[in-house]
Chain A
Amino acid sequence: MLKTLSDLVPNVFLAMLLAAAAIMAFATVNALFLVWLERKVSARMQRRYGPTVVGPFGMFQTLVDVVKLLSKQLISPKDIDKPLYHLAPIVVFVPVVLGLSLFPIDKSFALVDTNVGLVLVFAFAGMGFIAIFMAGWGSNNKYALLGAMRAVAQNIAYEIPLILAALAVTMIARSMRIADIVEAQGSFPYILVQPIGALIYYISAVAETNRAPFDIPEAESELVAGFHTEYSGMRFALFFLAEYTNMVIVSMVATSLFLGGYKGPLLPGPVWFFGKVYFLIFVMLWLRWTFPRLRFDQLMTFAWKVLIPLALANLLVTATVLKVMS
Protein backbone atom coordinates (compact mmCIF):
# COMPACT_ATOMS: atom_id res chain seq x y z
CA MET A 1 0.00 0.00 0.00
CA LEU A 2 1.30 3.44 -0.90
CA LYS A 3 2.11 5.54 2.14
CA THR A 4 2.46 9.30 2.11
CA LEU A 5 4.17 11.53 4.57
CA SER A 6 0.89 12.40 6.32
CA ASP A 7 0.32 8.70 6.94
CA LEU A 8 3.69 8.34 8.61
CA VAL A 9 3.71 11.59 10.58
CA PRO A 10 0.47 12.21 12.46
CA ASN A 11 0.93 15.95 12.97
CA VAL A 12 -0.01 17.84 9.77
CA PHE A 13 2.25 20.81 10.42
CA LEU A 14 5.18 18.62 11.27
CA ALA A 15 4.56 16.67 8.09
CA MET A 16 4.52 19.88 6.05
CA LEU A 17 7.73 21.06 7.66
CA LEU A 18 9.42 17.75 7.07
CA ALA A 19 8.27 17.67 3.45
CA ALA A 20 9.48 21.22 2.82
CA ALA A 21 12.84 20.46 4.38
CA ALA A 22 13.23 17.23 2.43
CA ILE A 23 12.33 18.86 -0.88
CA MET A 24 14.52 21.89 -0.38
CA ALA A 25 17.40 19.68 0.62
CA PHE A 26 16.87 17.46 -2.38
CA ALA A 27 16.47 20.36 -4.81
CA THR A 28 19.64 22.02 -3.60
CA VAL A 29 21.81 18.92 -3.42
CA ASN A 30 20.44 17.75 -6.75
CA ALA A 31 21.27 21.06 -8.42
CA LEU A 32 24.76 20.98 -6.95
CA PHE A 33 25.23 17.48 -8.24
CA LEU A 34 23.74 18.21 -11.66
CA VAL A 35 25.87 21.27 -12.24
CA TRP A 36 28.93 19.21 -11.39
CA LEU A 37 27.68 16.38 -13.60
CA GLU A 38 27.03 18.75 -16.47
CA ARG A 39 30.51 20.16 -16.18
CA LYS A 40 32.09 16.75 -16.04
CA VAL A 41 29.98 15.31 -18.87
CA SER A 42 30.55 18.31 -21.12
CA ALA A 43 34.25 18.25 -20.32
CA ARG A 44 34.52 14.58 -21.19
CA MET A 45 32.64 15.18 -24.44
CA GLN A 46 35.01 18.02 -25.27
CA ARG A 47 38.22 16.24 -24.31
CA ARG A 48 38.71 18.32 -21.23
CA TYR A 49 38.96 17.41 -17.57
CA GLY A 50 36.35 19.70 -16.08
CA PRO A 51 36.64 20.69 -12.43
CA THR A 52 39.37 18.78 -10.63
CA VAL A 53 40.66 20.99 -7.87
CA VAL A 54 38.02 21.36 -5.15
CA GLY A 55 37.17 18.06 -3.49
CA PRO A 56 37.37 14.56 -4.98
CA PHE A 57 36.86 14.81 -8.76
CA GLY A 58 36.12 18.49 -8.23
CA MET A 59 32.79 17.61 -6.67
CA PHE A 60 32.74 20.58 -4.32
CA GLN A 61 33.38 23.07 -7.09
CA THR A 62 29.69 23.92 -7.34
CA LEU A 63 29.48 24.28 -3.58
CA VAL A 64 32.21 26.88 -3.72
CA ASP A 65 30.40 28.56 -6.58
CA VAL A 66 27.27 28.78 -4.48
CA VAL A 67 29.25 30.48 -1.73
CA LYS A 68 30.50 32.94 -4.32
CA LEU A 69 26.99 33.58 -5.60
CA LEU A 70 25.67 34.04 -2.06
CA SER A 71 28.32 36.57 -1.24
CA LYS A 72 27.81 38.60 -4.39
CA GLN A 73 26.18 41.97 -4.34
CA LEU A 74 22.67 42.01 -5.77
CA ILE A 75 22.56 44.56 -8.54
CA SER A 76 19.23 46.00 -9.63
CA PRO A 77 19.20 48.02 -12.83
CA LYS A 78 17.63 51.43 -13.13
CA ASP A 79 13.95 51.89 -14.03
CA ILE A 80 12.89 48.33 -13.35
CA ASP A 81 9.35 47.22 -12.54
CA LYS A 82 10.22 46.61 -8.92
CA PRO A 83 7.56 44.13 -7.76
CA LEU A 84 7.86 41.98 -10.86
CA TYR A 85 11.64 42.09 -10.90
CA HIS A 86 12.03 41.12 -7.26
CA LEU A 87 9.27 38.53 -7.20
CA ALA A 88 10.31 36.65 -10.33
CA PRO A 89 13.18 34.61 -8.80
CA ILE A 90 10.89 33.50 -5.99
CA VAL A 91 7.93 32.74 -8.24
CA VAL A 92 10.10 30.68 -10.56
CA PHE A 93 11.21 28.51 -7.68
CA VAL A 94 7.86 27.83 -5.95
CA PRO A 95 6.13 25.63 -8.56
CA VAL A 96 9.31 23.67 -9.05
CA VAL A 97 9.41 22.78 -5.36
CA LEU A 98 5.74 21.88 -5.35
CA GLY A 99 6.13 19.67 -8.39
CA LEU A 100 8.86 17.63 -6.78
CA SER A 101 6.57 16.34 -4.03
CA LEU A 102 4.20 14.41 -6.23
CA PHE A 103 6.22 11.41 -7.35
CA PRO A 104 6.17 7.99 -5.75
CA ILE A 105 9.80 7.00 -5.41
CA ASP A 106 9.04 3.50 -4.27
CA LYS A 107 6.10 1.06 -4.21
CA SER A 108 5.31 2.16 -0.71
CA PHE A 109 6.25 5.81 -0.48
CA ALA A 110 5.42 9.22 -1.93
CA LEU A 111 5.47 12.58 -0.19
CA VAL A 112 2.02 13.50 -1.44
CA ASP A 113 -0.45 11.26 -3.17
CA THR A 114 -3.38 12.78 -4.99
CA ASN A 115 -5.67 11.48 -7.68
CA VAL A 116 -4.97 14.49 -9.91
CA GLY A 117 -1.19 14.24 -9.58
CA LEU A 118 -0.44 14.47 -13.27
CA VAL A 119 -2.64 17.53 -13.72
CA LEU A 120 -0.89 19.23 -10.82
CA VAL A 121 2.56 18.53 -12.26
CA PHE A 122 1.71 20.18 -15.56
CA ALA A 123 -0.06 23.04 -13.83
CA PHE A 124 3.00 23.76 -11.72
CA ALA A 125 5.29 23.42 -14.72
CA GLY A 126 3.21 26.02 -16.58
CA MET A 127 3.53 28.48 -13.72
CA GLY A 128 7.26 28.68 -14.17
CA PHE A 129 6.83 30.63 -17.36
CA ILE A 130 4.84 33.32 -15.64
CA ALA A 131 7.92 33.95 -13.55
CA ILE A 132 10.11 34.03 -16.63
CA PHE A 133 7.86 36.59 -18.23
CA MET A 134 7.84 38.61 -15.02
CA ALA A 135 11.63 38.58 -15.04
CA GLY A 136 11.83 39.58 -18.70
CA TRP A 137 9.22 42.29 -18.44
CA GLY A 138 10.43 43.70 -15.15
CA SER A 139 14.10 43.93 -16.09
CA ASN A 140 13.84 46.97 -18.36
CA ASN A 141 16.14 45.28 -20.83
CA LYS A 142 15.32 44.50 -24.44
CA TYR A 143 17.27 41.27 -24.49
CA ALA A 144 15.39 40.11 -21.40
CA LEU A 145 12.10 41.09 -22.97
CA LEU A 146 12.91 39.26 -26.20
CA GLY A 147 13.90 36.21 -24.19
CA ALA A 148 10.71 36.33 -22.17
CA MET A 149 8.55 36.65 -25.29
CA ARG A 150 10.35 33.69 -26.80
CA ALA A 151 9.91 31.70 -23.59
CA VAL A 152 6.17 32.28 -23.45
CA ALA A 153 5.65 31.44 -27.11
CA GLN A 154 7.78 28.35 -26.75
CA ASN A 155 5.98 27.26 -23.61
CA ILE A 156 2.56 27.49 -25.23
CA ALA A 157 3.77 25.60 -28.28
CA TYR A 158 5.45 22.77 -26.40
CA GLU A 159 3.00 22.39 -23.52
CA ILE A 160 0.43 21.08 -25.98
CA PRO A 161 2.31 18.06 -27.37
CA LEU A 162 3.66 17.42 -23.88
CA ILE A 163 0.18 17.10 -22.41
CA LEU A 164 -1.21 15.27 -25.44
CA ALA A 165 1.50 12.66 -25.11
CA ALA A 166 0.80 12.28 -21.40
CA LEU A 167 -2.93 12.09 -22.10
CA ALA A 168 -2.51 8.97 -24.21
CA VAL A 169 -0.84 7.31 -21.23
CA THR A 170 -3.59 8.27 -18.83
CA MET A 171 -6.12 6.81 -21.26
CA ILE A 172 -4.34 3.47 -21.11
CA ALA A 173 -3.78 3.59 -17.36
CA ARG A 174 -7.29 5.00 -16.73
CA SER A 175 -5.99 7.23 -13.96
CA MET A 176 -4.31 10.52 -13.31
CA ARG A 177 -2.84 9.38 -10.05
CA ILE A 178 0.85 8.95 -10.76
CA ALA A 179 1.13 5.94 -8.45
CA ASP A 180 -1.67 4.24 -10.37
CA ILE A 181 -0.03 4.91 -13.69
CA VAL A 182 3.21 3.37 -12.47
CA GLU A 183 1.36 0.38 -11.06
CA ALA A 184 -0.58 -0.05 -14.30
CA GLN A 185 2.70 -0.67 -16.09
CA GLY A 186 2.74 -4.31 -15.05
CA SER A 187 5.67 -6.25 -16.43
CA PHE A 188 6.64 -3.87 -19.21
CA PRO A 189 6.96 -0.05 -19.29
CA TYR A 190 4.66 2.10 -21.40
CA ILE A 191 7.48 3.16 -23.67
CA LEU A 192 6.88 -0.12 -25.50
CA VAL A 193 3.19 0.66 -25.87
CA GLN A 194 3.65 4.33 -26.58
CA PRO A 195 7.02 4.74 -28.36
CA ILE A 196 5.91 7.75 -30.35
CA GLY A 197 4.23 9.29 -27.34
CA ALA A 198 7.39 8.82 -25.30
CA LEU A 199 9.51 10.47 -27.99
CA ILE A 200 7.12 13.40 -28.32
CA TYR A 201 7.05 13.77 -24.56
CA TYR A 202 10.81 13.75 -24.25
CA ILE A 203 11.41 16.26 -27.03
CA SER A 204 8.77 18.59 -25.62
CA ALA A 205 10.20 18.13 -22.14
CA VAL A 206 13.64 19.25 -23.29
CA ALA A 207 11.99 22.28 -24.83
CA GLU A 208 10.03 22.89 -21.62
CA THR A 209 13.21 23.08 -19.61
CA ASN A 210 14.76 25.57 -22.07
CA ARG A 211 17.71 23.32 -22.65
CA ALA A 212 19.76 23.22 -25.82
CA PRO A 213 18.97 22.69 -28.64
CA PHE A 214 15.80 24.49 -27.56
CA ASP A 215 17.42 27.08 -25.32
CA ILE A 216 16.33 30.06 -27.36
CA PRO A 217 14.85 32.06 -24.44
CA GLU A 218 18.32 32.45 -23.01
CA ALA A 219 20.27 31.93 -26.23
CA GLU A 220 23.65 33.16 -25.16
CA SER A 221 24.97 34.01 -28.57
CA GLU A 222 21.95 36.13 -29.47
CA LEU A 223 20.24 37.42 -26.35
CA VAL A 224 23.21 37.64 -23.97
CA ALA A 225 21.38 35.64 -21.28
CA GLY A 226 17.75 36.15 -22.22
CA PHE A 227 15.30 36.70 -19.40
CA HIS A 228 17.86 36.56 -16.61
CA THR A 229 20.31 39.03 -18.20
CA GLU A 230 19.82 41.56 -15.40
CA TYR A 231 19.91 39.13 -12.48
CA SER A 232 23.04 38.63 -10.46
CA GLY A 233 24.15 36.77 -7.38
CA MET A 234 21.61 34.65 -5.58
CA ARG A 235 18.72 35.88 -7.72
CA PHE A 236 20.43 34.41 -10.73
CA ALA A 237 21.20 31.28 -8.72
CA LEU A 238 17.50 30.77 -8.07
CA PHE A 239 16.77 30.78 -11.80
CA PHE A 240 19.61 28.36 -12.21
CA LEU A 241 18.32 26.13 -9.43
CA ALA A 242 14.83 26.18 -10.94
CA GLU A 243 16.17 25.15 -14.33
CA TYR A 244 18.02 22.17 -12.96
CA THR A 245 15.15 21.09 -10.73
CA ASN A 246 12.86 21.42 -13.71
CA MET A 247 15.03 18.93 -15.54
CA VAL A 248 14.51 16.51 -12.68
CA ILE A 249 10.75 17.01 -12.68
CA VAL A 250 10.25 16.40 -16.39
CA SER A 251 12.51 13.38 -16.13
CA MET A 252 10.51 12.11 -13.14
CA VAL A 253 7.31 12.47 -15.16
CA ALA A 254 8.89 10.64 -18.07
CA THR A 255 10.14 7.91 -15.74
CA SER A 256 6.73 7.49 -14.13
CA LEU A 257 4.73 7.59 -17.35
CA PHE A 258 6.91 5.71 -19.76
CA LEU A 259 9.70 3.86 -17.97
CA GLY A 260 7.79 2.13 -15.18
CA GLY A 261 8.84 4.46 -12.36
CA TYR A 262 10.36 2.59 -9.43
CA LYS A 263 9.75 -0.83 -11.02
CA GLY A 264 12.71 -3.00 -11.89
CA PRO A 265 14.28 -6.31 -11.01
CA LEU A 266 16.60 -7.01 -8.06
CA LEU A 267 17.44 -3.50 -6.91
CA PRO A 268 15.19 -1.54 -4.54
CA GLY A 269 12.60 0.88 -5.97
CA PRO A 270 14.27 4.23 -5.21
CA VAL A 271 17.45 3.08 -6.94
CA TRP A 272 15.56 2.22 -10.06
CA PHE A 273 13.55 5.40 -9.89
CA PHE A 274 16.50 7.76 -9.52
CA GLY A 275 18.61 5.68 -11.85
CA LYS A 276 16.10 6.15 -14.64
CA VAL A 277 15.67 9.83 -13.81
CA TYR A 278 19.37 10.52 -13.97
CA PHE A 279 19.76 8.53 -17.12
CA LEU A 280 17.17 10.74 -18.80
CA ILE A 281 18.96 13.80 -17.48
CA PHE A 282 22.23 12.48 -18.84
CA VAL A 283 20.62 12.22 -22.28
CA MET A 284 19.57 15.85 -21.95
CA LEU A 285 23.15 16.84 -21.22
CA TRP A 286 24.30 14.76 -24.13
CA LEU A 287 21.90 16.55 -26.47
CA ARG A 288 22.98 19.94 -25.22
CA TRP A 289 26.66 19.36 -25.83
CA THR A 290 26.12 17.87 -29.26
CA PHE A 291 23.62 20.02 -31.13
CA PRO A 292 23.60 23.62 -32.25
CA ARG A 293 20.57 25.71 -31.42
CA LEU A 294 17.42 25.92 -33.52
CA ARG A 295 16.20 29.25 -34.74
CA PHE A 296 13.08 30.62 -33.10
CA ASP A 297 10.79 30.26 -36.10
CA GLN A 298 12.11 26.76 -36.82
CA LEU A 299 11.36 25.83 -33.25
CA MET A 300 7.79 27.03 -33.51
CA THR A 301 7.33 25.37 -36.89
CA PHE A 302 8.58 22.12 -35.43
CA ALA A 303 6.09 22.31 -32.56
CA TRP A 304 3.00 23.37 -34.49
CA LYS A 305 3.54 21.51 -37.74
CA VAL A 306 5.23 18.32 -36.58
CA LEU A 307 4.87 17.58 -32.90
CA ILE A 308 1.27 18.63 -32.31
CA PRO A 309 -0.22 16.82 -35.35
CA LEU A 310 1.84 13.78 -34.46
CA ALA A 311 0.70 13.89 -30.84
CA LEU A 312 -2.93 14.26 -31.93
CA ALA A 313 -2.60 11.32 -34.29
CA ASN A 314 -0.99 9.30 -31.55
CA LEU A 315 -3.86 10.15 -29.22
CA LEU A 316 -6.43 9.20 -31.86
CA VAL A 317 -4.81 5.86 -32.59
CA THR A 318 -4.50 5.09 -28.89
CA ALA A 319 -8.16 5.92 -28.31
CA THR A 320 -9.27 3.82 -31.28
CA VAL A 321 -7.22 0.82 -30.25
CA LEU A 322 -8.46 1.06 -26.68
CA LYS A 323 -12.08 1.25 -27.89
CA VAL A 324 -11.68 -1.73 -30.19
CA MET A 325 -9.92 -3.85 -27.55
CA SER A 326 -12.33 -3.13 -24.75
Chain B
Amino acid sequence: MSDDSPQRSESLQRLYDDKLVVQAEVRDHAQGGFHESCIAAAAALPEIAAKLREDGFYLEMLTCLDRRQTGEEMALIYTFNRFDRAHRLRVESPIAAVAEWRGPAPAPLKGAAAKKKAEADKAKAEAAAARAAAGEPDPDPAAEGASIASVFRSADWYEREVYDMYGVTFAGHPDLKRILLPEDADFHALLKDFGRIDEAETTLDDQRPS
Protein backbone atom coordinates (compact mmCIF):
# COMPACT_ATOMS: atom_id res chain seq x y z
CA MET B 1 0.00 0.00 0.00
CA SER B 2 1.34 3.36 -0.95
CA ASP B 3 1.05 6.26 1.44
CA ASP B 4 -1.36 8.35 -0.62
CA SER B 5 -4.02 5.62 -0.76
CA PRO B 6 -7.20 6.49 1.17
CA GLN B 7 -7.52 5.49 4.79
CA ARG B 8 -8.93 2.03 5.45
CA SER B 9 -11.88 1.79 7.81
CA GLU B 10 -11.17 0.67 11.37
CA SER B 11 -12.88 -2.66 10.83
CA LEU B 12 -10.82 -3.53 7.79
CA GLN B 13 -7.62 -2.21 9.40
CA ARG B 14 -8.24 -4.48 12.38
CA LEU B 15 -8.71 -7.50 10.14
CA TYR B 16 -5.55 -6.53 8.28
CA ASP B 17 -3.55 -6.07 11.45
CA ASP B 18 -4.71 -9.45 12.72
CA LYS B 19 -3.34 -10.92 9.49
CA LEU B 20 -6.74 -12.34 8.55
CA VAL B 21 -6.95 -10.60 5.20
CA VAL B 22 -4.54 -9.48 2.49
CA GLN B 23 -4.82 -6.94 -0.31
CA ALA B 24 -7.03 -4.79 1.89
CA GLU B 25 -7.83 -1.86 -0.32
CA VAL B 26 -10.22 1.04 -0.39
CA ARG B 27 -12.34 1.19 -3.52
CA ASP B 28 -14.29 3.93 -5.20
CA HIS B 29 -17.92 3.39 -4.27
CA ALA B 30 -19.13 5.56 -7.13
CA GLN B 31 -17.27 3.33 -9.56
CA GLY B 32 -17.91 -0.25 -8.55
CA GLY B 33 -20.35 -0.04 -5.66
CA PHE B 34 -17.84 -1.37 -3.13
CA HIS B 35 -16.30 0.73 -0.39
CA GLU B 36 -13.55 -1.70 0.51
CA SER B 37 -12.24 -5.01 -0.66
CA CYS B 38 -9.90 -7.70 0.61
CA ILE B 39 -8.91 -11.31 0.09
CA ALA B 40 -8.97 -13.93 2.81
CA ALA B 41 -8.34 -17.62 3.18
CA ALA B 42 -11.52 -19.65 3.48
CA ALA B 43 -10.56 -20.94 6.90
CA ALA B 44 -10.33 -17.40 8.26
CA LEU B 45 -13.87 -16.47 7.25
CA PRO B 46 -15.65 -17.45 10.49
CA GLU B 47 -13.28 -15.26 12.50
CA ILE B 48 -13.60 -12.39 10.05
CA ALA B 49 -17.38 -12.67 10.12
CA ALA B 50 -17.42 -12.69 13.92
CA LYS B 51 -15.26 -9.55 14.04
CA LEU B 52 -17.42 -7.81 11.47
CA ARG B 53 -20.56 -8.76 13.33
CA GLU B 54 -19.14 -7.13 16.46
CA ASP B 55 -18.60 -3.98 14.43
CA GLY B 56 -22.22 -3.94 13.30
CA PHE B 57 -21.98 -5.45 9.84
CA TYR B 58 -24.50 -7.83 8.35
CA LEU B 59 -23.99 -10.37 5.59
CA GLU B 60 -25.45 -8.80 2.50
CA MET B 61 -24.65 -11.39 -0.12
CA LEU B 62 -22.60 -14.47 -0.76
CA THR B 63 -21.92 -15.88 -4.15
CA CYS B 64 -19.32 -17.73 -6.11
CA LEU B 65 -17.39 -17.18 -9.33
CA ASP B 66 -16.37 -20.05 -11.58
CA ARG B 67 -13.21 -19.00 -13.43
CA ARG B 68 -11.99 -22.47 -14.32
CA GLN B 69 -12.17 -21.89 -18.03
CA THR B 70 -9.22 -19.51 -17.96
CA GLY B 71 -7.27 -21.78 -15.66
CA GLU B 72 -7.87 -19.75 -12.52
CA GLU B 73 -9.38 -20.94 -9.26
CA MET B 74 -12.95 -20.41 -8.15
CA ALA B 75 -13.75 -17.73 -5.61
CA LEU B 76 -16.35 -17.05 -2.99
CA ILE B 77 -17.46 -13.42 -2.84
CA TYR B 78 -18.81 -12.26 0.49
CA THR B 79 -20.38 -8.85 0.80
CA PHE B 80 -20.89 -7.23 4.19
CA ASN B 81 -22.74 -4.00 4.76
CA ARG B 82 -23.98 -1.86 7.62
CA PHE B 83 -27.40 -0.51 8.56
CA ASP B 84 -26.24 2.77 10.08
CA ARG B 85 -24.36 3.92 6.97
CA ALA B 86 -23.59 2.31 3.66
CA HIS B 87 -20.26 0.53 3.86
CA ARG B 88 -19.96 -2.37 1.48
CA LEU B 89 -17.02 -4.59 2.30
CA ARG B 90 -16.13 -7.24 -0.23
CA VAL B 91 -14.25 -10.30 0.93
CA GLU B 92 -12.95 -12.69 -1.69
CA SER B 93 -11.91 -16.18 -0.78
CA PRO B 94 -10.24 -18.47 -3.32
CA ILE B 95 -11.57 -22.00 -3.64
CA ALA B 96 -10.03 -24.86 -5.56
CA ALA B 97 -11.89 -26.10 -8.61
CA VAL B 98 -14.72 -28.39 -7.56
CA ALA B 99 -14.48 -30.42 -10.73
CA GLU B 100 -12.38 -30.66 -13.80
CA TRP B 101 -13.27 -28.20 -16.57
CA ARG B 102 -15.35 -30.00 -19.17
CA GLY B 103 -16.29 -27.10 -21.39
CA PRO B 104 -14.43 -25.76 -24.39
CA ALA B 105 -11.01 -24.21 -23.95
CA PRO B 106 -10.92 -20.41 -24.06
CA ALA B 107 -10.67 -18.99 -27.53
CA PRO B 108 -6.99 -18.30 -28.29
CA LEU B 109 -6.14 -14.62 -28.27
CA LYS B 110 -4.47 -13.08 -31.22
CA GLY B 111 -2.22 -10.13 -31.86
CA ALA B 112 -2.62 -7.12 -29.57
CA ALA B 113 -5.11 -8.86 -27.30
CA ALA B 114 -2.71 -11.72 -26.63
CA LYS B 115 0.06 -9.27 -25.91
CA LYS B 116 -2.15 -7.31 -23.55
CA LYS B 117 -3.20 -10.47 -21.76
CA ALA B 118 0.38 -11.63 -21.36
CA GLU B 119 1.35 -8.25 -19.93
CA ALA B 120 -1.53 -8.29 -17.49
CA ASP B 121 -0.68 -11.80 -16.37
CA LYS B 122 2.92 -10.86 -15.88
CA ALA B 123 2.01 -7.77 -13.85
CA LYS B 124 -0.31 -9.86 -11.74
CA ALA B 125 2.32 -12.49 -11.05
CA GLU B 126 4.87 -9.82 -10.16
CA ALA B 127 2.47 -8.14 -7.78
CA ALA B 128 1.71 -11.48 -6.10
CA ALA B 129 5.43 -12.21 -5.78
CA ALA B 130 5.99 -8.77 -4.29
CA ARG B 131 3.24 -9.36 -1.74
CA ALA B 132 4.69 -12.74 -0.86
CA ALA B 133 8.10 -11.14 -0.39
CA ALA B 134 6.54 -8.48 1.85
CA GLY B 135 5.21 -11.19 4.15
CA GLU B 136 1.58 -11.32 3.12
CA PRO B 137 1.26 -14.01 0.47
CA ASP B 138 -2.04 -14.57 -1.31
CA PRO B 139 -4.02 -17.35 0.35
CA ASP B 140 -3.97 -20.69 -1.38
CA PRO B 141 -7.27 -21.91 -2.81
CA ALA B 142 -9.04 -23.95 -0.16
CA ALA B 143 -10.64 -27.31 -0.86
CA GLU B 144 -13.89 -26.15 0.71
CA GLY B 145 -15.39 -23.06 2.28
CA ALA B 146 -15.80 -22.58 6.01
CA SER B 147 -19.37 -21.98 7.08
CA ILE B 148 -20.18 -18.71 8.80
CA ALA B 149 -23.75 -19.79 9.50
CA SER B 150 -22.95 -19.82 13.21
CA VAL B 151 -22.14 -16.11 13.03
CA PHE B 152 -24.73 -14.92 10.54
CA ARG B 153 -27.66 -17.26 10.21
CA SER B 154 -28.43 -15.71 6.83
CA ALA B 155 -25.32 -17.52 5.61
CA ASP B 156 -27.19 -20.78 6.07
CA TRP B 157 -29.29 -20.23 2.97
CA TYR B 158 -26.58 -18.42 1.02
CA GLU B 159 -24.13 -21.26 1.55
CA ARG B 160 -26.77 -23.77 0.57
CA GLU B 161 -27.34 -21.79 -2.60
CA VAL B 162 -23.65 -21.73 -3.44
CA TYR B 163 -23.46 -25.45 -2.78
CA ASP B 164 -26.54 -25.97 -4.92
CA MET B 165 -25.30 -23.93 -7.83
CA TYR B 166 -21.53 -24.54 -7.71
CA GLY B 167 -20.98 -27.65 -5.63
CA VAL B 168 -18.73 -25.84 -3.18
CA THR B 169 -19.11 -27.40 0.26
CA PHE B 170 -18.85 -25.54 3.54
CA ALA B 171 -17.23 -27.09 6.58
CA GLY B 172 -19.36 -26.70 9.68
CA HIS B 173 -22.64 -25.97 7.93
CA PRO B 174 -25.56 -27.35 9.99
CA ASP B 175 -27.52 -28.84 7.10
CA LEU B 176 -25.88 -28.46 3.72
CA LYS B 177 -28.40 -29.54 1.11
CA ARG B 178 -29.85 -28.20 -2.09
CA ILE B 179 -32.11 -25.19 -1.84
CA LEU B 180 -33.35 -24.06 -5.26
CA LEU B 181 -32.76 -27.02 -7.54
CA PRO B 182 -34.62 -30.30 -7.06
CA GLU B 183 -33.23 -32.39 -4.25
CA ASP B 184 -32.42 -35.23 -6.59
CA ALA B 185 -30.61 -33.08 -9.15
CA ASP B 186 -27.16 -34.36 -9.97
CA PHE B 187 -25.70 -31.21 -11.47
CA HIS B 188 -24.63 -27.81 -10.22
CA ALA B 189 -26.35 -25.38 -12.48
CA LEU B 190 -24.16 -22.29 -12.40
CA LEU B 191 -20.90 -24.05 -13.14
CA LYS B 192 -19.73 -22.57 -16.40
CA ASP B 193 -19.46 -25.90 -18.15
CA PHE B 194 -23.07 -26.83 -17.44
CA GLY B 195 -25.86 -25.96 -19.84
CA ARG B 196 -23.98 -23.63 -22.14
CA ILE B 197 -26.07 -22.07 -24.85
CA ASP B 198 -23.78 -23.33 -27.63
CA GLU B 199 -24.65 -26.90 -26.66
CA ALA B 200 -28.02 -26.21 -25.08
CA GLU B 201 -30.00 -28.41 -27.43
CA THR B 202 -28.40 -31.54 -26.13
CA THR B 203 -26.76 -30.63 -22.87
CA LEU B 204 -29.65 -30.65 -20.43
CA ASP B 205 -30.83 -34.09 -21.42
CA ASP B 206 -27.37 -35.50 -21.82
CA GLN B 207 -26.32 -34.55 -18.33
CA ARG B 208 -29.32 -36.16 -16.68
CA PRO B 209 -29.21 -39.83 -15.75
CA SER B 210 -31.10 -41.88 -18.30
A–B touch (CB < 8 A): the answer is: no
